[in-house]
């Protein structure tokens, strides 16, 4: 319970009696020993029954000091967005909210898309949908939500939803990418009964997309600029893999049983505890610490809502001589959440449970029950590793008893858990007794140093000390800033693990319980007495947030606004950062009713209230006093200028999808139109996924996005042909003839390549080798007064002494920053030009998005920490300190592709000709064997859509091949060496080049875009030697070629690897086979010629013989015919017979004479051939 607060003099005031309690054994790590604590001292506000005069004055002071432009906020209703997740079939139902666990795509959209005949959809395509919708509405104070939503719809309000998919941990399995999709919500009438003619209740809906490899999603909702003013809001919509559906369609947790009653004793007077998880990767968070119960708080929305779950563990523990246990309890002391696995510690026992995430793991089966690990070990503490690396997450288990000084280092990869005992040879305690076994980086002083009024003190060993012992309790490391913190009843920080700085603002009488870090430059500290302190990394000033005067002012203002999240009796459960903002999970008691709420801790407001309350004075003007304040901020305006387009450096890919237009005049969608929206968004993300598959083959052709570069570098290339008929589809929609009463505008589904900077630095900066990020910082001095008096113009020296900008680099050996200042005298301003560059020294080569070096850049305006604030519509925002993570290496979204277009052009130009295969394949052009081959490659940027010629060096190897696509085989390492190395002596080379540059071991040739080309050899021991042709055309061969710049390219950090097929035709035959074919061909030719000659010689004789035979046959036939005819006509008259016989005789004699005349002529003509 939050206690009575603090007195004006800073003295602690408790409303309850303090009692001295003995806490558990310090060796178990659960608590410190013998401390007096006051239950009322947990995060508390001021005394509520009556406000003291001084506190009222502070409140009035804060109100009077509010800038004049903030008063305008009173005329604007404060409206907030509401987003819930609902199932596909529950669209239009009111009061329903579903959990995110079902990941199977819907296959029921074919009936809807089959109606879209005259629409830019493919009737042969099977359209799928996501199982969930996002239901969106908003509410404003003082008016019902239904009326507000109707008013917003009628005034043109359309929510714009941006879904961001978090990259997975295991980059070996999933491609690393920063993917977003922006959607416009579609209005839909509620299915509830309504007496109105048009609409009573309505909401907006968008599909809730799912992406393989991502279980954490951020949903940002903003307005389109029409209707009421609604602040942007972010929601966490994460997949819960610890739920399962029962036979009655109800949901049940797989880790335990849900408890629906939050008993006050679970939280009241219970110390707060840290919330441990892998930063930005954990979909489900758990929090233990509930006394005497094996229960945890579980949430998949970052405690926007939550569940109390009693775990299904055996709760069996056994004490022994080697594992002493002073007491046993059911309390879950440590709870850590990772991407798919939960870890807990109960007493000395450690358990884990892996959820069911089909989008992450090959197997869709999670743990059936809690798995106990390290069964024979005595574990006193579980410690989280906040950052993941090398495709895995990590956890540490500290031992006690017989293995004191050892650490069990756990590795979690795709839900599989393994532990390794470190150190491997001897414990840390034993290693300290052996020289040269462990390197001691720093020895913590025995006593707390005496800072003598300084904010910080560099520990050099010569400083004086107090009589307070240093009691270290823990360490914290920020991998971005390289800051190491050692904490206890003190706080030390170091950039190099050897030189430490003592921060003297933290009181030595207090003891730190845990730290929370935003990893963006902010850190909060919670003490054993539940005090909250704040530290901005890069500075040495610490600020006490609670209890403080600023907290009292804030509480009083919340009372005046009748806030429901602040009560007199409250207990802080945990403190954590979310999206760089600090939040509390508090248990409120109001009217004997308990409530667990999540609320924002306004750090900027608290610091501003403290500054105003500590630095004011009264100035006499005439006969009266005027309240004045001291402004310690060195500038009045700070702006970022000349920011480059963010996608080049943030590597953020973004798609856009708008709902199909409906023909209905009211503009409301129906279930079919929303189903079409689902299918189109699903198909758009499928196109993105297919386009990113490199080296994918489909029969003889290539899948788009494979090794051959596309003419149009866009993942939505398949819709380009359908856009040609968009005028026709628009004509149908204009005449209300669209099929299904929906009009699909293909221009509404596209990838965005030209995002503009939003006057702020990107969330992260990726730097390749030698690249730079350049921007400007504009600072103006003065100009805050509301009086219309001329402002004095400062000189350049005065400006230089007033404002100064510094850049703090976490790794100055890897990156460098150059700051150039320009004085704008007429504007009392200074313009700083900042150039952040990579120094080409701290990274070798890696795959795209893999093994990046994490560092950071911190911009600091001198004197701005805790003093400079910018008032916005979302409240004050701290200025003067900007921290940006910098990732050095090969940025995600870059790949190497074969530039087939320019390769064909250049080869045709150099060889003076180009001969393609007889059977032309547009997806894979052929190259002639005898021509010199000049390959060219492109660097394709999948984020910005840019493509440029690859100017680096590379090694080309033939790693496979075959005479046909079906007979391609992979070559062994020995064969690859023989077929490609210029050192080969076995006559196995496939190709050679005139370049003389080779690798360090001279094993392979180094190529570049300026190389002299490749000459194909196919020597006698190579696989392409003596290829047998299968047709009458020349032999051809398919080479599987590996192109890699690993170890030979100094222009980039990217390790590009590309595998492509080259189709080579016109291969020569071997000498033996060519001679054999020549002999066979010659023999056949000679035989044919001989036969022809013989035929020509024998032809006249054969013709003569034939004619003679035919003549003889004709004579015989004629003579036989004559005698037969004569004998038949012997009985006729003499006159008749004489007439007939004379005719027959004359005819026969004429034919005989004619034949005799032709025979000598033919004989005479053929006589020269015989001679």
A 10 A CB-CB count for 984 gives 17
Following DSSP, what letter does each residue of 835-857 receive, concatenated? Answer: EEEE-S-S---BSTTSSPEEEEE
Following DSSP, what letter does each residue of 104-140 receive, concatenated? Answer: PPB---HHHHTT-SSSSS-TTS---B-SEEEEEEEEE
- Does residue 35 surpass a pLDDT of 60? no
- Does residue 233 surpass a pLDDT of 70? yes
- Does residue 1104 surpass a pLDDT of 60? yes
pLDDT tens track for 680-713: 999 999 988 887 664 333 333 333 345 777 655 6
What is the reported pLDDT for 814? 95
What is the reported pLDDT for 1171? 31
Phi-psi region of 673 (alpha: psi -120 to 50; beta: other; left: phi over 0): alpha
Which of the two residues, 28 and 131, has the higher pLDDT score? 131
What is the reported pLDDT for 544? 95
- Does residue 444 surpass a pLDDT of 70? yes
The encoded tokens of residue 1013 equal 């080309």
Least confident window among 593-597, 621-625, 1130-1134: 1130-1134
Pairing of strands 243-245, 251-253: antiparallel
Which of the two residues, 310 and 743, has the higher pLDDT score? 310
What is the reported pLDDT for 147? 83
Cis before 423 (ω within 30): yes
- Does residue 1132 surpass a pLDDT of 80? no
pLDDT tens track for 777-828: 999 997 654 444 456 788 888 888 889 999 999 999 999 999 999 999 888 9
Contact predicate 183/130, CB 8 Å: no
What is the reported pLDDT for 713? 64
What is the reported pLDDT for 12? 34
Contact predicate 298/353, CB 8 Å: no
The encoded tokens of residue 540 equal 């040495």
% of residues, the chain, pLDDT over 90: 54
What is the reported pLDDT for 880? 92
The encoded tokens of residue 590 equal 């109001």
In sequence order, what are the beta bridge partners of 52?
none
pLDDT tens track for 1009-1048: 988 899 999 999 999 988 888 777 888 999 999 999 999 9
What is the reported pLDDT for 68? 38
% of residues, the chain, pLDDT over 70: 84
What is the reported pLDDT for 889? 94
Q: How far apart are CA 800 and CA 807, in angstroms?
A: 16
pLDDT tens track for 88-115: 999 988 888 999 999 889 888 888 888 8
Place of tokens 């858990």: 417
A 10 A CB-CB count for 1028 gives 9
Which of the two residues, 50 and 1121, has the higher pLDDT score? 1121
A 10 A CB-CB count for 316 gives 9
From first CA to last CA, the distance across the chain in angstroms is 138
| DSSP H helix total and E strand total for the chain | 14, 68
Q: How far apart are CA 232 and CA 159, in angstroms?
A: 10
Q: How far apart are CA 181 and CA 160, in angstroms?
A: 11
Contact predicate 480/519, CB 8 Å: yes
pLDDT tens track for 1054-1083: 999 999 999 999 988 877 777 777 888 889
Average of per-residue pLDDT values in the chain: 84
Q: How far apart are CA 704 and CA 689, in angstroms?
A: 11
Instruction: Report which of 580, 491, 604 is spatially closest to residue 540, judged by C-alpha positions.
Output: 491
What is the reported pLDDT for 747? 83
Instruction: Report which of 365, 388, 338 is spatially closest to residue 176, judged by C-alpha positions.
Output: 388
Using CA of residue 377, residue 378, residue 382, residue 385, what is the dihedral sign?
A: negative
- Does residue 627 surpass a pLDDT of 60? yes
Using CA of residue 1026, residue 1030, residue 1034, residue 1037, what is the dihedral sign?
A: negative
- Does residue 852 surpass a pLDDT of 90? yes
What is the reported pLDDT for 356? 92
Q: How far apart are CA 430 and CA 438, in angstroms?
A: 10
Average pLDDT over residues 478-492: 95
Please list, in sequence order, all residues whose beta carbon lies within 8 angstroms of the beta carbon of residue 1087, skipping any fewer than 6 positions away. Answer: none
Residues written for the chain:
1171
The encoded tokens of residue 167 equal 């990259």
Least confident window among 216-225, 301-310, 598-607, 715-724: 715-724
A 10 A CB-CB count for 656 gives 18
| CA-based R_g, the chain, Å | 43
Average pLDDT over residues 1119-1129: 66
The encoded tokens of residue 886 equal 């910098």
Pairing of strands 178-184, 35-37: unpaired
What is the reported pLDDT for 258? 94
Which of the two residues, 1134 and 778, has the higher pLDDT score? 778
- DSSP letter at 272 equals P
- Does residue 1169 surpass a pLDDT of 50? no
What is the reported pLDDT for 81? 93
Least confident window among 66-75, 502-511, 672-681, 766-775: 66-75
A 10 A CB-CB count for 184 gives 17
In sequence order, what are the beta bridge partners of 992?
1015
H or E stretch at 727: helix 726-734
What is the reported pLDDT for 991? 94
Instruction: Report which of 114, 85, 79 is spatially closest to residue 97, judged by C-alpha positions.
Output: 85
Q: How far apart are CA 733 and CA 731, in angstroms?
A: 5
A 10 A CB-CB count for 1084 gives 10
Which of the two residues, 665 and 906, has the higher pLDDT score? 906
A 10 A CB-CB count for 652 gives 21
What is the reported pLDDT for 783? 60
């Amino acid at each position: 319970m939050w206690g009575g607060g603090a007195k004006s003099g800073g003295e602690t005031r408790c409303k309850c009696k303090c009692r001295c309690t003995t806490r558990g054994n310090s060796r178990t790590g659960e608590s410190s020993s013998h401390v007096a604590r006051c239950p009322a001292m947990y995060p508390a506000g001021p005394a509520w029954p009556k406000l003291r005069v001084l506190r009222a004055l502070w409140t009035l002071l804060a109100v009077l000091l509010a800038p004049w432009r903030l008063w305008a906020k009173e005329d604007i209703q404060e409206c907030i967005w509401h987003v819930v997740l609902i199932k596909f079939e529950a669209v239009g139902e009111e009061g329903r909210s579903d959990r995110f666990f079902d990941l199977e795509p819907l296959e029921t959209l074919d009936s809807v898309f089959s109606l879209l005949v005259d629409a830019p959809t493919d009737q042969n395509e099977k359209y799928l949908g996501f199982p969930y919708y996002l239901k969106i509405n908003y509410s404003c104070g003082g008016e019902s939500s239904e009326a507000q939503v109707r008013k917003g719809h009628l005034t043109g309000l359309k929510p714009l939803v941006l879904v961001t998919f978090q990259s997975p941990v295991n980059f070996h399995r999933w491609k690393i990418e920063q993917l977003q999709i922006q959607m416009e919500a579609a209005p839909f009438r509620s299915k509830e009964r309504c007496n109105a003619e048009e609409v009573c209740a309505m909401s907006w809906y968008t599909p809730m997309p799912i992406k393989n490899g991502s279980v954490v999603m951020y949903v940002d909702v903003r307005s389109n600029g029409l209707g009421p003013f609604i602040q942007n809001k972010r929601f966490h919509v994460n997949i819960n893999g610890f739920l399962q559906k029962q036979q009655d369609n109800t949901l049940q947790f797989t880790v335990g049983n849900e408890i629906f009653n939050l008993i006050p004793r679970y939280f009241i007077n219970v110390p707060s505890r840290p919330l441990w998880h892998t930063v930005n990767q954990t979909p489900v968070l758990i929090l233990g610490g509930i006394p005497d119960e094996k229960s945890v708080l579980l949430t998949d929305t970052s405690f926007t809502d939550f569940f109390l779950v009693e775990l299904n563990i055996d709760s069996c523990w056994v004490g022994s001589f080697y594992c002493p246990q002073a007491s046993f309890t059911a309390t879950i002391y440590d709870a850590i959440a990772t991407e798919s696995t939960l870890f807990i510690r109960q007493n000395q026992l450690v358990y884990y449970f892996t959820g069911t995430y089909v989008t992450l793991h090959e197997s869709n089966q999670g743990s059936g029950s809690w798995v106990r690990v390290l069964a024979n070990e005595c574990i006193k503490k579980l410690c989280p590793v906040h950052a993941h690396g090398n495709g895995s997450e990590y956890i540490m288990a500290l031992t006690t008893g017989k293995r004191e000084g050892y650490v069990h280092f756990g590795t979690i990869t795709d839900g599989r858990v393994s532990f390794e005992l470190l150190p491997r040879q001897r414990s840390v305690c034993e290693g300290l007794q052996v020289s040269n076994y462990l390197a001691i980086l720093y020895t913590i002083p025995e006593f707390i140093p005496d800072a003598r009024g300084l904010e910080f003190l560099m520990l050099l060993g010569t400083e004086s000390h107090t009589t307070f012992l240093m009691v270290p309790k823990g360490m914290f490391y920020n991998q971005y800033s390289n800051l190491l913190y050692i904490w206890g009843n003190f706080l030390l920080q170091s950039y190099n693990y050897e030189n430490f700085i003592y921060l003297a603002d933290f009181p030595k009488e207090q003891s730190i319980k845990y730290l929370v870090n935003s990893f963006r430059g902010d850190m909060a500290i919670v003490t054993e007495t539940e005090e909250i302190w704040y530290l901005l990394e890069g500075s040495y000033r610490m600020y006490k947030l609670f209890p403080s005067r600023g907290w009292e002012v804030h509480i009083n203002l919340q009372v005046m606004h009748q806030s429901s999240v602040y009560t007199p009796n409250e207990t802080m459960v945990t403190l954590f950062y979310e999206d760089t903002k600090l939040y509390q999970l508090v248990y409120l008691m109001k009217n004997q009713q308990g409530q667990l709420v999540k609320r924002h801790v306004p750090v900027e407001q608290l610091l501003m209230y403290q500054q105003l309350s500590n630095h004011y004075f009264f100035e006499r003007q005439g006969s009266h006093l005027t309240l004045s304040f001291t402004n310690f901020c060195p500038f009045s305006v700070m702006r970022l200028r000349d920011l480059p387009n963010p996608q080049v450096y943030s590597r953020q890919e973004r798609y856009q999808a708008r709902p199909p237009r409906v023909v209905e005049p009211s503009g409301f969608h129906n279930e079919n139109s929303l189903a079409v929206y689902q299918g189109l968004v699903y198909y758009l993300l499928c196109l993105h996924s297919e386009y990113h598959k490199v080296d994918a083959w489909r029969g003889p052709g290539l899948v788009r996005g494979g090794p051959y570069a596309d003419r149009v570098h866009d993942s939505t290339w398949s819709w380009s042909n359908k856009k040609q008929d968009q005028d026709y589809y628009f004509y149908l929609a204009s005449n209300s003839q669209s099929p299904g009463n929906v009009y699909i505008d293909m221009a509404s589904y596209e990838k965005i390549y030209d995002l503009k900077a939003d006057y702020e630095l990107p969330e992260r900066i990726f730097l390749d080798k030698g690249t730079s990020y350049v921007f400007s910082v504009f600072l103006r001095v003065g100009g805050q007064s509301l009086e219309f008096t001329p402002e004095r113009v400062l000189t350049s020296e005065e400006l230089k002494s007033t404002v100064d900008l510094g850049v703090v680099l976490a790794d100055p050996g890897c990156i460098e920053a150059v700051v150039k200042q320009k004085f704008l005298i007429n504007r009392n301003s200074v313009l700083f030009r900042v150039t952040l560059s990579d120094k080409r020294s701290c990274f070798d080569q890696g795959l795209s998005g893999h093994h990046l070096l994490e560092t950071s850049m911190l911009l600091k305006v001198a004197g701005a920490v805790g003093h400079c604030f910018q008032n916005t519509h979302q409240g004050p925002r701290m200025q003067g300190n900007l921290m940006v993570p910098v990732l050095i290496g090969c940025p995600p979204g870059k790949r190497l592709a074969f530039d087939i277009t320019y390769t064909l052009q250049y080869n045709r130009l150099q060889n003076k000709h180009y001969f393609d295969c007889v059977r032309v394949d547009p997806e894979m052009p052929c190259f002639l064997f005898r021509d010199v081959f000049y390959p060219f490659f492109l660097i394709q940027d999948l984020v910005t859509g840019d493509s440029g010629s690859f100017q680096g060096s590379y090694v080309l190897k033939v790693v496979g091949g075959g005479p046909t696509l079906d007979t391609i085989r992979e070559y062994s390492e020995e064969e690859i060496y023989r077929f490609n190395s210029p050192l080969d002596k076995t006559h196995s080379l496939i190709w050679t080049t005139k370049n003389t540059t080779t690798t360090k071991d001279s094993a392979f040739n180094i190529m570049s875009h300026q190389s002299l080309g490749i000459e194909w050899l196919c020597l006698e021991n190579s696989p392409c030697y003596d290829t047998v042709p299968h047709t009458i055309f020349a032999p051809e061969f398919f080479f599987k070629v590996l192109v890699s710049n690993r170890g030979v390219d100094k222009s980039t950090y990217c390790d590009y690897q590309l595998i492509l097929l080259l189709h080579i035709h016109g291969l020569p035959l071997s000498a033996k086979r060519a001679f054999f074919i020549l002999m066979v061909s010659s023999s056949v030719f000679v035989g044919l010629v001989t036969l022809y000659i013989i035929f020509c010689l024998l032809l006249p004789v054969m013709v003569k013989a034939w004619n003679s035979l035919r003549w003889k046959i004709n004579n015989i036939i004629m003579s036989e015919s004559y005698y037969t005819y004569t004998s038949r006509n012997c009985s006729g008259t003499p006159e008749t017979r004489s007439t007939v016989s004379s005719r027959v005789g004359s005819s026969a004699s004429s034919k005989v004479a004619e034949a005799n005349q032709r025979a000598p002529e033919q004989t005479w003509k053929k006589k020269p051939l015989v001679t």
